[in-house]
Amino acid sequence: MNLFIKNRSRKESLKAIIILFAIVLFFASCKEAPLTERKQLIIIPESSEIKIGEDALRKIKKELKLSQNQYLINQVKKVGTRIAEASGRSDYKWEFIVIEDDNIVNAFCLPGGKIGIYTGILPYTKDEKGLAAVIGHEVGHAIARHGAERLSIALIAKMGQIALNFILDVDNPIVLEALNQAYGLGTEIGIVLPFSRKQELEADRIGIDLMSKAEYNPIGALEF
């Protein structure tokens, strides 16, 4: 009798998990990326996403060295403001910072319109067109909500891992760890990594469109 009750309880719990997944996926599938209109899986509220970006930027400002070169700061803000205005997201509190590190050839985007440019990438951008290509790409990530999308995928993958452990009811910790690692590897290779490449290409496409709207010659992206 106890086994019957236990099995019935597990079936009911599993049914509840499946229903929850279905509801989450249904509402998440309503999102579309700008320009490309790609269906997106986003379950993170935009207000929470923006808060994450603001908190992360505060931490970055405390831990990293910001550039004091006013010419570079003004140039990044000038180009960034034009690209941001072209995005149509006036509800974002856009912020563009320059980080003093000539060894890092990179830029980044935090949720909610917080963009960081390392000084190491500036010799490669050369002029405003090249800088517009970089900033356009990062702004593309922001308005497409790629950060929230990746976080949503990670959360759903975690939910799937919990459900897998529940369904299998494995007590052996060694076997359980092996299953979890296999599941994690599968989601990493099959979902997260390919999706990341798709997001990068999408940010490129959006960025070039933003360059054009901001009256920067998109050929600057090719030159960069």
| Cβ atoms of residues 67 and 73 within 8 Å | yes
Query: Is 198 part of a structural domain of the chain?
Result: yes
Query: Is 28 part of a structural domain of the chain?
Result: no
Q: How, if at all, do strands 31-32 and 39-40 pair? A: antiparallel
What torsion do the CA atoms of 12, 15, 17, 18 make, to the nearest 10 degrees? 180
Look up the domain containing 139 and give its range: 33-223
Query: Is 23 part of a structural domain of the chain?
Result: no
| Cβ atoms of residues 83 and 61 within 8 Å | no
167-187 confidence digits (pLDDT tens): 666 566 655 566 566 556 555
Q: Give how far Cα 90 sits from Cα of 30, 47, 85, 97, Å.
A: 23, 15, 7, 18
Query: Is 2 part of a structural domain of the chain?
Result: no
Query: Is 64 part of a structural domain of the chain?
Result: yes
Number of domains the chain contains? 1
In whole angstroms, give the CA distance from residue 141 to residue 152: 15
Query: Is 57 part of a structural domain of the chain?
Result: yes
Q: Is residue 29 pLDDT above 70, yes or no? A: no
Query: Is 169 part of a structural domain of the chain?
Result: yes
User: What is residue 81's predicted lDDT score, i.e. its pLDDT?
Assistant: 97
Minimal CA–CA distance to 72: which of 142, 137, 121, 136?
121
| Residues with a known catalytic role | 138
93-120 confidence digits (pLDDT tens): 999 999 999 999 999 999 999 999 999 9
pTM for the whole structure: 0.77
Query: Is 9 part of a structural domain of the chain?
Result: no
